[in-house]
Amino acid sequence: MLTMVSALERVQRLYGARPAIIDREGNFTWSEFFDRVTRVAGVLRDLGIRQGDHYAILCRNGFRHAELIHAGYWMGAIPVPVNYRLAPPEIRFILEDANCTTLIVEDALIGLAATEELSPWRDRILYVAPGRTEVEWPQYEALLASTPPVDCHLSNEDDDAILLYTGGTTGRSKGVRLSHKNVFSNGMQVMHPMGIRSDDVYFHLAPMFHSADLLGTCFTQCGAAHSFLAQFTPAEALSAIQDFGVTVAMMAPTMIIMTLQDKSFDKYDLSSFRLLFYGSSPMAVEWIRRAMERFQGVDIQQGYGLTETSPILTPLDPAEHREALDTGEYGILKSTGQPLVSIDLRIVDDGDQEVPTGEAGEVIVRGPNVAKGYLNRPEENKRAFRDGWFHTGDVGSVDENGNLYLLDRKKDMIITGGENVYSSEVEAALYQHPGVNEAAVVGVPDEKYGEALFAVIVPAPGADLTEEQIISHCRERIGGYKIPRRMAFVQEMPKSAMGKILKTELRKIYGGE
């Protein structure tokens, strides 16, 4: 069965005595983890959560977060892991949109639960703390120990498994309904190209409220172990890789860059580490090269996907990375790779007609990992999920080997004087300047051209950049109409929880959008 319950039961039967959780707070075998999950389900039931209900989780990464999700899978209730970095009104919007009756909050985030916005849930909070605390709520571990396991209440692989909110980068948040089949299928799709082994140790660095964390599914399916970091810092990530014997980690480019720049990098023994998976936003080729050089002996793989696709659509495999490093031909690293098995991917024009190989258009996909749709968004469902295909809103092209090259989010594409400009191409040119640490290009209103290009640049430490330098640097690399004539030099970019630059914010600031 393509359900996460089937996955958990199977590994408990096949790998019961092998490690499921490797953590500073304790290790658990798959049998022990299975037992905890079925008890947590009892705790949730005692809170009044029933099959089909949504419940919100406000927790940092950790094994209790994982068991709180699996308990929902087990009892047929739907976990809604929420980005705890959002403002309280944004969190309240999600809780109301999903009709969450119960809120599960970790001790470190107790301040959030006490805000006025979350007061309607004050009587329906499960408080998650590792041990004794000052508050009067029942102790999580004590509750768990005293609650007997409950029976499974999930029967259908098409039932919702998890509700993940997306769209922080594009305005009002939307809840993506991922079924058990969706999540399970993506695990099956990636386990082959990732070469998962039952003795792997996967490191949950990406926030567990983000779809990127679903990459952990294939490790559960294969009976591998999970380890966690509550909050990312480069030094803690490196020391955890060493201490937990981490073999595989998924990192956002920002995390990788911070880690590579960390002074303590060489202090750690990373010999267990075999695969670094990066994704969620493009990484400049220069940084990929540096990562491959510093993480020596570590395979590097990247993936492109969306919350709506559970999440991976295309991986670019380690062999491609190695070949690029060996030959010095880095072109393929601009690609996100080929669609996974059972994923149909096409590039279409505005009339939904497939465009010829190499030409740009919207990326549309279908496959068992594609979500059913958004919760409470009939209009957006009609637009995005039509004729059996999910319209990603991303603009890209494929080469003669089916490798996908992403150009832009459809709405980030700039139309200036009638010409289409992909911000990614301009940004790639900017990144080639040694004084540029980060760059983003957006369209701003322009009387003459409709839109004009505006570059926002974070200079490298000590770099003294001028507009003229940037323009002349670009002139040697890209066509005249693609050169940003207006720009701003800033200390920091507005970013999402996964380190994605928020262009919506940039357009507001610089374009008066």
Q: Using CB under 8 A as the criterion, which residues of the chain lie in contact with a second copy when the complex forms?
A: 1-2, 6-7, 9-10, 13-17, 184, 187-189, 191-192, 195-196, 221-222, 338-339, 341-344, 366-368, 398, 400-402
CB nearer a second copy, residue 82 or residue 214: 214
DSSP strands (E only) in 159-222? 160-166, 174-179, 201-204
Q: Shortest gap between Cβ of 28 and a second copy (angstroms)?
A: 18
Q: Shortest gap between Cβ of 220 and a second copy (angstroms)?
A: 10
CB nearer a second copy, residue 46 or residue 359: 359
DSSP strands (E only) in 317-435? 344-348, 361-366, 373-374, 385-386, 389-398, 404-409, 414-416, 419-421
CB nearer a second copy, residue 200 or residue 412: 200
Q: How far apart are CA 437 and CA 457, in angstroms?
A: 8
Q: Shortest gap between Cβ of 413 and a second copy (angstroms)?
A: 25
User: Which tokens belong to 427?
Assistant: 């940004």
Q: Shortest gap between Cβ of 16 and a second copy (angstroms)?
A: 7
Q: Shortest gap between Cβ of 223 and a second copy (angstroms)?
A: 9
Q: How far apart are CA 482 and CA 296, in angstroms?
A: 37
Q: Shortest gap between Cβ of 492 and a second copy (angstroms)?
A: 40
Q: Shortest gap between Cβ of 173 and a second copy (angstroms)?
A: 30
CB nearer a second copy, residue 314 or residue 416: 314
CB nearer a second copy, residue 138 or residue 402: 402
User: Which tokens belong to 326?
Assistant: 């060996």
Are 30 and 223 spatial neighbours (Cβ–Cβ below 8 Å)? yes
CB nearer a second copy, residue 142 or residue 341: 341
Q: How far apart are CA 265 and CA 255, in angstroms?
A: 13
Q: Is 454 helix (H, G, I), strand (E, B) or coil?
A: strand
CB nearer a second copy, residue 157 or residue 412: 157
DSSP state of 501: B
Q: How far apart are CA 335 and CA 114, in angstroms?
A: 45
Residue 48 burial (CB count, 10 A): 11
- The residues near 192 (Cβ < 8 Å, ≥ 6 apart) are 341
Q: Shortest gap between Cβ of 400 and a second copy (angstroms)?
A: 7
CB nearer a second copy, residue 187 or residue 207: 187
CB nearer a second copy, residue 326 or residue 464: 326
Q: Shortest gap between Cβ of 198 and a second copy (angstroms)?
A: 10
CB nearer a second copy, residue 184 or residue 304: 184
CB nearer a second copy, residue 322 or residue 411: 322
User: Which tokens belong to 153?
Assistant: 């209440």
CB nearer a second copy, residue 122 or residue 192: 192
Burial state string for 476-503 with b = 16 or more CB within 10 A and e = fewer than 16: eebeeebbbeebebeeebbbbbbbbbbb
Q: Shortest gap between Cβ of 344 and a second copy (angstroms)?
A: 6
Q: Is 256 helix (H, G, I), strand (E, B) or coil?
A: helix
Are 184 and 4 spatial neighbours (Cβ–Cβ below 8 Å)? yes
Are 202 and 224 spatial neighbours (Cβ–Cβ below 8 Å)? yes
Q: Shortest gap between Cβ of 76 and a second copy (angstroms)?
A: 16
Q: Which bin fits 367, alpha (ψ -120 to 50), beta or left (φ > 0)?
A: left
- Please name the residue that has the structure tokens 């940004």: 427
- The residues near 23 (Cβ < 8 Å, ≥ 6 apart) are 62, 63, 227, 228, 244
Q: Shortest gap between Cβ of 380 and a second copy (angstroms)?
A: 23
| 407-412 contacts at long range (C-beta below 8 A, 24 or more positions apart) | 407/360, 409/170, 409/503, 410/362, 411/170, 412/442, 412/443, 412/503
The per-residue DSSP string of 81-97 comes to: E--TTS-HHHHHHHHHH
